[in-house]
Amino acid sequence: MNDVLKAIKERNSCRDFYPEALTEEQVKNLVDAALAAPSAVNRMPWHIIVVTDKALIEEMDAAAMDEIAGYENKDFYNRMKDRGGKIFYDAPFMMFVLKDESDWGTLDSGIVIQNVALAAHSMGLGNVICGMARIPLDGAKGAEFKKRLQFPENHSFAISICVGKAKSGKEPHEFDMSKVTYVK
């Protein structure tokens, strides 16, 4: 099996990271993977923010848990508490992908993150695609976080990814062939 197909089949969502920082080379490779993503008409309707400031990641994590604690449905909060009370799982690296208001911003941002997820896995790094980063950005401290993250005007959160050295591994999910229709 070729290396790309192997990475696609073996990648899984990591939810526990060692605190050690990524190397400059690893960060550069992940940014390069993001920038290599295709986009509709090559518009690149995204802006990428790389965060290695551990204190900021932890602050956003705590703010997210505060927001979740206020949800009427406590199931989600309890689930996150059972996972250690963190939505970023102590990751030392996060990449936020922001989208402009164009028609293809959401789709193209997802392609960026998939590139990064597969690149991280191929580099021996754990990762988890994280839509929950929206929680602190939309919460009480959201404007402050967006300022600190240097959100450009006319861009909004699309998706993020947490990356680091995985503390543990797990098997990738089973393929659900009921989700596939063949038309011949």
Cα–Cα distance for residue pair 132/64, rounded to 1 Å? 8
Cα–Cα distance for residue pair 7/123, rounded to 1 Å? 10
CB atoms under 10 Å from CB of 94, counted, come to 22
Domain membership of residue 135 (yes or no) is yes
In the predicted model, what is the mean pLDDT of residues 92-116?
A: 97
Whether residue 150 is predicted with pLDDT greater than 90 in this model: the reply is yes
Say if pTM beats, i.e. exceeds, 0.85: yes
Q: Which residue has the higher pLDDT, 173 or 135?
A: 135
Range of weakest confidence among 2-6, 18-22, 159-163: 2-6
Amino acid 31: pLDDT: 98
Residue 102: CATH number of its domain: 3.40.109.10
- Whether 146 contacts 139, CB under 8 Å: no
Domain count, the chain: 1
Domain membership of residue 43 (yes or no) is yes
Domain membership of residue 113 (yes or no) is yes
Give phi and psi for 24, each to the nearest 5. -60, -40
Which residue range(s) make up the domain with 19?
Answer: 3-179
Domain membership of residue 45 (yes or no) is yes
Domain membership of residue 184 (yes or no) is no
